[in-house]
Amino acid sequence: MSGAGAAGQEAVLTIERIGARGDGIARWDGRSVYVPFTAPGDRVRVRLGNAFGEGRAARLVQLLAPGARIAPVCRHFGACGGCALQHLAATAYAEAKESQIAAALSRQGLAAAVIAPLLRLPPGTRRRARFALEHPRTAAATPLVGFHARASHRIVDMEECAVLHPALVALARTLRPLIPRLWHRGGTGAATATLSDTGVDLLLDLAAPPELGALEHLAGFAEAQDLARLAWRAPGMEEPVPAAIRRPPRVVFSGVAVDLPADAFLQASAAAEAALTAEVLAGIGAARRVADLYAGLGTFSFALAIRAAVHAAEGSRETAAALAAAASRAGLQRLTVERRDLEARPLSPEELARFDAVVLDPPRAGAKAQSAALARSVVPRLVAVSCNPATFARDARLLVEGGYRLVRVQPIDQFVWSPHVELVAQFAR
């Protein structure tokens, strides 16, 4: 049976590969069927669901014969929406991530031969988490802290997490008793925790501004947990309000301490930051004048400035200011900083002519306007960092049409066990 009548039917299928969302993909009735938590080679009985894009969703009913599987490490795997790929054997895991990049490049007519094997990074190192919080309606239920179940608002109460740094897992436990003090029954919110180099920076998204008693309690909580900073925000407020600043939260890049604005971008772990920086440095070669575009707090700028004159451009006012202040405190005259919206006002080919390498690390939406300007430039070397293979491939095509060669793509497993992949690409002309 095909078409709309298929939903609810059972089928026996063999999983062929893993798709961009981390689902196993099998063929049924000439179309793709997406089955979460399956592995290539699995023989499975599934219940077919609704049409999904060109294919159809399905739910695993029974694993008849295992394919490229290992035992997941976390008790929440399968319920928690944080991880999708813990069950994949090493080769299948690497293939799942590498093939996403290959598929995105091939959709843009670009060769996949330049993709290096996935660089795996250790779990238990992630330094930022946004926990969902809930004060349940019923008196018998205890407060919930964790991540949402996949495609759901339901919170999976977290008892362990193999992805996060242990300091953040320990912090999550301490948030439970705080919830009834800050939220009415039935209320929900969020806590964003960042493990900075001076301690945890915690930002609470509350339903309403806290009463005086709750504020005092927050200050006591910050003291008891030895937080670097605790801030809160309520709906409609743009700027977070600090409840306690015990030490300025700071991150250290290549020996330079940078103040961490609440909500500023940070690479997911120190290990990922080191791997990305090494690839970026290798990519610029012997360049002496480098533009670091979408520079953030200077993850790459400070490393680049050890060997080159660097011009950093960043769109966020607070982030650019923190980067500029750190460069000035460190007396780094060869690092200049500009606040600039690179989508609205990309560096022009004329401005780019003074650099012999450009590094760009845009957000998920990519760097379309800046790539179009680079395509018309004479810069000999580019290093592109991306967390989204689709927008990367779109921008890469612009560069290749402008005469660049895509020399190498290094996939980096920054988002361990999620379907996401980070990459660093080198272009030359």
Q: Is the dihedral of CA 97, 102, 105, 108 positive or negative?
A: negative
**Stretch near ligand SAM under the rule CB under 6 A, chosen from 2-10, 31-39, 302-310, 311-319:** 311-319
Beta strands per DSSP E along 265-401: 289-293, 309-314, 335-339, 357-360, 381-386
Q: Minimal CA–CA distance to 411: which of 88, 121, 12, 1?
A: 121
29 binds ligand SAM (CB under 6 A): no
Closer to ligand SAM by CB, 132 or 271: give it: 271
**Stretch near ligand SAM under the rule CB under 6 A, chosen from 71-79, 172-180, 312-320, 390-398:** 312-320
Give residues 58-87 in contact with ligand SAM (rule: CB under 6 A).
none
Report which DSSP code applies to 119: B
Give residues 225-284 in contact with ligand SAM (rule: CB under 6 A).
265, 267
To ligand SAM, the closest distance from the beta carbon of 260 in angstroms equals 11
Q: Residue 294: how many CA atoms within 13 Å on its side-chain side?
A: 24
Give residues 140-169 in contact with ligand SAM (rule: CB under 6 A).
none
343 binds ligand SAM (CB under 6 A): yes
**Stretch near ligand SAM under the rule CB under 6 A, chosen from 100-108, 130-138, 174-182, 310-318:** 310-318
Closer to ligand SAM by CB, 133 or 358: give it: 358
Q: Is the dihedral of CA 106, 108, 112, 115 positive or negative?
A: negative
Beta strands per DSSP E along 53-110: 55-65
To ligand SAM, the closest distance from the beta carbon of 361 in angstroms equals 4
Q: How many residues bind ligand SAM (CB under 6 A)?
A: 18
Site string for ligand SAM, 287-306 (x = CB under 6 A): -------xxxx-xx------
To ligand SAM, the closest distance from the beta carbon of 190 in angstroms equals 20
To ligand SAM, the closest distance from the beta carbon of 360 in angstroms equals 8
180's tokens: 């009834």
351 binds ligand SAM (CB under 6 A): no
Please select the residue that binds ligand SAM; options are 327, 342, 383, 424, rule is CB under 6 A.
342
Please select the residue that binds ligand SAM; options are 29, 223, 226, 341, rule is CB under 6 A.
341
To ligand SAM, the closest distance from the beta carbon of 34 in angstroms equals 28
Tell me the C-alpha distance between 382 and 393, whole Å: 14
Catalytic residue among 74, 80, 83, 387: 387
Residues 6+ apart with CB under 8 A from 350: none
Closer to ligand SAM by CB, 38 or 388: give it: 388
**Stretch near ligand SAM under the rule CB under 6 A, chosen from 56-64, 196-204, 360-368, 402-410:** 360-368
Q: Minimal CA–CA distance to 194: which of 269, 82, 101?
A: 269
Residue pointed to by tokens 């709309």: 4
To ligand SAM, the closest distance from the beta carbon of 317 in angstroms equals 9
C-alpha to C-alpha distances, 61 to 8, 49, 67, nearest whole angstrom: 12, 12, 16
Closer to ligand SAM by CB, 194 or 299: give it: 299
C-alpha to C-alpha distances, 162 to 38, 68, 97, 126, nearest whole angstrom: 20, 21, 19, 9
Tell me the C-alpha distance between 21 and 46, whole Å: 18
Tell me the C-alpha distance between 223 and 200, whole Å: 12
To ligand SAM, the closest distance from the beta carbon of 141 in angstroms equals 38
**Stretch near ligand SAM under the rule CB under 6 A, chosen from 89-97, 207-215, 237-245, 313-321:** 313-321
Closer to ligand SAM by CB, 10 or 341: give it: 341
Residues 6+ apart with CB under 8 A from 95: 17, 18, 40
To ligand SAM, the closest distance from the beta carbon of 192 in angstroms equals 16
To ligand SAM, the closest distance from the beta carbon of 383 in angstroms equals 11
361 binds ligand SAM (CB under 6 A): yes
314 binds ligand SAM (CB under 6 A): yes
Closer to ligand SAM by CB, 16 or 351: give it: 351
Catalytic-residue membership of 387: yes
Q: Minimal CA–CA distance to 130: which of 218, 177, 193?
A: 193
Q: Residue 273: how many CA atoms within 13 Å on its side-chain side?
A: 22
Closer to ligand SAM by CB, 27 or 345: give it: 345
Question: Which letter, b or e, does each residue of 116-138 get, where b requires 16 or more Cβ atoms within 10 Å of its Cβ?
Answer: eebbebebbbbbbbebbbbbbee
163's tokens: 């992805």
The set of catalytic residues is: 387
List residues near ligand SAM by CB under 6 A.
265, 267, 294-297, 299-300, 314-316, 319, 341-343, 361-363
